Amino acid sequence: MKLMIADDEVIIRQGLSTVIDWKELGITLLEPAASAEEVLERLDAERPHILLTDIRMGGMDGIELSREVKRRYPDTEIIILTGFDEFAYAQQAIHEGVSDYLLKTSRPEEIIKAAVRAKGRVMERLEARRQEALNAAAVCKQLLERLLTQGQEGWSQSESAKLRECFVRSGLCEREGEAGPIRVLIATASGWGEGTMAGVLIGAVENMLSELLGGCSMLKQDRIVMIVPEGTADAQERIARELGRVKRTLKCLPFAALSFASRNTADLKEMYAEASNIFAYRGMLGNEGLFTSGDIGKRAGGRTVCTEADEAELAAHLAKGSLSDLRQTVNRLVRSEFANPEATPETLLAYLQSIVIAGYRWLERARGGTGDTSARAAVTLQKLPESERRAEEEIFRQLSGILAAFHESVADSKFAYIPKSIAYIRDNLDQNLTLQQVAAFVHLNPNHFSEMFKRELGMTYIEFVVRERMAKAERLLKETPLKVSEIAAKVGYEDVKYFGQLFKKHTGMTPSEYRES
């Protein structure tokens, strides 16, 4: 709150400046002015909220000064200092917008009261305007969000008028003219950590970009959505330059997606969709820079599921409990698909989910279930991580959790190596599985392992392996179009005829009869 004293008498200026502790009142005292003309010279630069002026001065008097100040800055509070013989004259000054008047013989406390009253009125107006601006901003945000996501079809005349007012205030168009070329910009930034600081950073970036680029903006979760003017220079170059300034000033990594330009506000829905689509590639394009549709091209889509070989490798690492090998495989799979030039956010997310699903399938097999856990796994990874590194960490975290869940489920078992051996058998049914091989995997003597295995499961090792192979064959016959010979190979039998005999003994039907039934 700033106050200026105007009086042509030095003693009055000095007295009013020193007798009252203006700082204690929350008022900043500007350099006093010796004349009305000096006040007007300094008015635009210093913009005092309160003017305390003498009514009689050489040259322009206080009444004329008040009239001119009010014309240029209507909200300025003016307090007139008057003598006894000018009292009626001072009363007339009220009609010129003067807020209050005081006798020059007034005690300091009376001047203080007048100044505090004036300060209160200024504060009330500022608060009212702040509240009005907040309300207008809230309305503007609602209209913008609706415009960007739903388009302008079906809007009332009042709503369209409010939207135009938002554009006028934001400098996107003149009050009577049409909007210039505009674009939609979606931006975010990283580098300040997680949680509260991440939110603080986004707010700081929004403030900077609003000042540097103009237009209007709103915060939408973890990103800033802006409608920015095209400007006279190349928009992409200008925005990239300002993002560089944001990076240097805030010590962060800004990422932004820029739509095509248009003069028609009806195109804003399409512009927002384009910018959103580009923004979805954030993790694939990198965490920093300005990108347009040309940077993503026309992609056909990458893989959506990991291969059988990749799933078998993951299962082997889980079965062995080797976290270092598991991490290496996860990193290799994630990096390879992030680098796929045909991948899209949708296909990449599906692929990452398939890796987690493979882990859950292993867990279900290890626990004796069917391995059908697609729905549960998909829920654990609902959106694409924002970077390749985050994706690696998230997938590894989830697979580590799956391994921990398996260890927890067998921890209370007296023979914990039995579930581990069962998981190994189910993951290698297409191999020549000998009892010695499985016993070595769980670090037991083959004879002791065979005895404990039969005691725990109520069947011999060979009986269990045959049962598991036949169960897998049933699933493949039921769920896939594979040939019988291919299914025989997948469950560990090179001799198709021998496989058929075992299958009929197990189910009472040949493989072909089972499929038809």
Write the Ramachandran bin of 48: left for phi over 0, alpha for psi from -120 to 50, otherwise beta. Answer: beta
- pLDDT tens across the length of the chain (517 residues): 999 999 998 998 899 999 999 999 999 999 999 999 999 999 999 999 999 998 888 888 888 898 899 899 999 999 988 775 666 666 666 666 788 888 878 889 999 999 999 999 999 998 888 887 666 667 777 778 887 888 877 788 887 777 777 777 777 766 555 667 889 999 999 999 888 888 899 999 999 998 898 888 888 888 999 988 887 668 889 999 999 999 999 999 999 999 999 888 888 899 999 999 999 999 888 889 999 999 998 899 999 999 989 998 998 898 888 888 999 999 999 999 999 999 999 999 999 999 999 999 888 877 766 555 544 555 578 888 888 988 999 999 999 988 888 877 766 555 567 877 888 888 888 888 899 998 888 888 888 888 888 887 888 999 989 988 998 999 899 888 899 999 999 999 989 999 999 998 888 899 999 888 8
Q: Identify the pLDDT of residue 84.
A: 57
- Is 179 in contact with 263 (CB distance < 8 Å)? yes
Backbone angles phi, psi at 182, to 5 degrees: -130, 160
- Do residues 329 and 287 share a domain? no
- Do residues 200 and 90 share a domain? no
What the block records as the tokens of 213 is: 């680029």
- Do residues 173 and 285 share a domain? yes
Is 488 a member of any domain?
Answer: yes
- Do residues 208 and 274 share a domain? yes
Is 135 a member of any domain?
Answer: no
Q: Identify the pLDDT of residue 94.
A: 63
The CATH number covering residue 82 comes to: 3.40.50.2300
Sort 115 into a burial class: Cβ within 10 Å, 0-12 / 13-18 / 19+: buried
- Do residues 25 and 47 share a domain? yes
Is 136 a member of any domain?
Answer: no
Domain boundary among the residues 295, 320, 343 is at: 295
Is 47 a member of any domain?
Answer: yes
- Is 220 in contact with 275 (CB distance < 8 Å)? no
What the block records as the tokens of 210 is: 């609003």
Backbone angles phi, psi at 225, to 5 degrees: -110, 125
Is 300 a member of any domain?
Answer: no
Domain boundary among the residues 295, 323, 353 is at: 295
Domain span at 99: 2-125
Q: Which residues pair with 53 in a beta bridge?
A: 6, 80
What the block records as the tokens of 451 is: 């005895």
Is 315 a member of any domain?
Answer: yes
Is 302 a member of any domain?
Answer: no
Q: For residue 172, what is the DSSP state?
A: S
- Do residues 28 and 114 share a domain? yes
Using DSSP's 3-state secondary structure scheme, residue 283 falls into: helix
- Do residues 312 and 349 share a domain? yes
- Do residues 338 and 366 share a domain? yes
Write the Ramachandran bin of 83: left for phi over 0, alpha for psi from -120 to 50, otherwise beta. Answer: beta
**Nearest residue to 515 via CA among 485, 461, 459, 475:** 475
- Do residues 74 and 183 share a domain? no
Q: Identify the pLDDT of residue 370.
A: 52
- Do residues 331 and 265 share a domain? no
Q: Identify the pLDDT of residue 54.
A: 87
Is 142 a member of any domain?
Answer: no
- Do residues 261 and 368 share a domain? no
What residue has token string 């210093």? 46
Q: What is the pTM of this model?
A: 0.60
- Do residues 258 and 177 share a domain? yes
d(CA 490, CA 498): 14
What the block records as the tokens of 344 is: 């899209």
Using DSSP's 3-state secondary structure scheme, residue 289 falls into: strand
Q: Identify the pLDDT of residue 297.
A: 87
Using DSSP's 3-state secondary structure scheme, residue 48 falls into: coil
Q: Identify the pLDDT of residue 38.
A: 94
Instruction: Provide the number of structural domains found in the chain.
Output: 4
Q: Identify the pLDDT of residue 93.
A: 64
The CATH number covering residue 165 comes to: 3.30.70.270
The CATH number covering residue 469 comes to: 1.10.10.60
Domain boundary among the residues 380, 412, 444 is at: 412
Q: Identify the pLDDT of residue 233.
A: 64
